């Protein structure tokens, strides 16, 4: 049986891959002079498809059985959003906002719930009665740092969706810089694409730091600890009676 310790890839590799794709998306938006819906949709499409690819690969390469559902759900939602954003008829202001908002809210909730469940599972305490084995199955849990990072990234993604909901795609403000003699128009699409670029930059930095941060050794399997404790109790009683 393959354990997390014997796997070639672990959570840090997934986090670094996600950070790299987010950094590429942030750089493409930051250094582009065109923040139109077509450019924003194209950048988001590439970011989403690449991220979905590593999420789905992580199902087999990173996570053991019992901990795969968040990666499957995130990969599926992100892949659908990336493919939809890549369709030329949907590369409009409305299409960009609808797709990115739907993806941000759906994937943010999935990642937030997965991280929250990982944190809450670690706080559960079971009453162990001496001499009585607890046959209830225990779901495997990952490192606490992974659950915490999932909560943070999930919350950031939800905030992206809420922020885009507050932007009107049809918004337009004409301005003029007198010193430079320049006139421009700030549109809702420019704001929306900029919000996505800022989100990508923050996620890239956060996941990059998380991926390179040292991690504590994973504790022993909870199931083994729980099942061993009652098994040792009768042996101690026999010694005392002897």
Higher model confidence: residue 122 or residue 172? Answer: 172
Place of tokens 């969706």: 161
Nearest CA to 94 out of 38, 162, 32 is that of 38
Residue 217: pLDDT band (50, 70, 90) is low
Predicted confidence (pLDDT) at residue 182 exceeds the cutoff of 80: no
In this prediction, residue 241 carries a pLDDT of 46
Q: Are 138 and 226 in contact (CB under 8 A)?
A: yes
In this prediction, residue 195 carries a pLDDT of 97
In this prediction, residue 80 carries a pLDDT of 97
In this prediction, residue 120 carries a pLDDT of 81
Nearest CA to 96 out of 198, 196, 201 is that of 196
Higher model confidence: residue 8 or residue 201? Answer: 201
Q: Which DSSP helix (H) or strand (E) runs through 25?
A: helix 11-30
Q: What's the average model confidence in pLDDT over 173-184?
A: 79
Q: What's the average model confidence in pLDDT over 141-169?
A: 89
CA angle 231, 235, 238 (to 5 degrees): 145
Place of tokens 């968040």: 70
In this prediction, residue 151 carries a pLDDT of 95
In this prediction, residue 222 carries a pLDDT of 41
In this prediction, residue 38 carries a pLDDT of 95
- Residue 238 tokens read as 């026999």
Among 18-27, 85-94, 170-179, 210-219, the least confident range? 210-219
Q: What's the average model confidence in pLDDT over 165-174?
A: 91
- For residue 75, the SS3 value is helix
In this prediction, residue 193 carries a pLDDT of 97
Rounded-to-integer distance, Cα 230 and Cα 236, Å: 10
Rounded-to-integer distance, Cα 67 and Cα 186, Å: 45
Predicted confidence (pLDDT) at residue 69 exceeds the cutoff of 80: yes
Q: What's the average model confidence in pLDDT over 140-146?
A: 64
Higher model confidence: residue 25 or residue 119? Answer: 25
If one counts every other C-beta atom within 10 angstroms of the C-beta of residue 31, the result is: 8
In this prediction, residue 1 carries a pLDDT of 39
Q: What are the tens digits of pLDDT across the range 12-67?
A: 899 999 999 999 999 999 999 899 999 999 999 999 999 999 999 999 898 888 78
% of residues, the chain, pLDDT over 90: 57
Residue 162: pLDDT band (50, 70, 90) is very high
């Amino acid at each position: 049986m393959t354990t997390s310790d014997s796997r070639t890839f672990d959570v840090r590799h997934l986090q670094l891959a996600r950070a790299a794709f987010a950094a590429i998306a942030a750089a493409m938006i930051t250094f582009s002079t065109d923040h139109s819906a077509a450019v924003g949709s194209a950048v988001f499409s590439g970011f989403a498809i690449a991220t979905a690819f590593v999420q789905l690969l992580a199902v087999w390469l990173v996570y053991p059985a019992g901990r795969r559902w968040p990666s499957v759900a995130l990969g599926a939602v992100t892949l659908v959003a990336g493919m939809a954003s890549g369709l030329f008829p949907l590369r409009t202001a409305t299409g960009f906002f609808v797709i990115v908002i739907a993806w941000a809210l759906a994937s943010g909730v999935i990642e937030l719930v997965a991280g929250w469940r990982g944190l809450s599972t670690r706080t559960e305490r079971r009453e162990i009665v001496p001499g009585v084995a607890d046959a209830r199955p225990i779901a495997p849990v990952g490192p606490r740092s992974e659950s915490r990072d999932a909560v943070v990234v999930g919350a950031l993604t939800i905030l992206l969706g809420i922020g885009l909901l507050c932007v009107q795609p049809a918004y337009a403000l004409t301005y003029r810089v007198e010193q430079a003699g320049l006139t421009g128009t700030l549109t809702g699409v420019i704001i929306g694409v900029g919000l996505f670029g800022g989100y990508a930059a923050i996620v890239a930095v956060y996941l990059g730091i998380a991926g390179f941060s040292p991690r504590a050794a994973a504790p022993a399997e909870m199931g083994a600890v729980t099942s061993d404790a009652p098994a040792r109790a009768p042996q101690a009683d026999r010694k005392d009676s002897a």
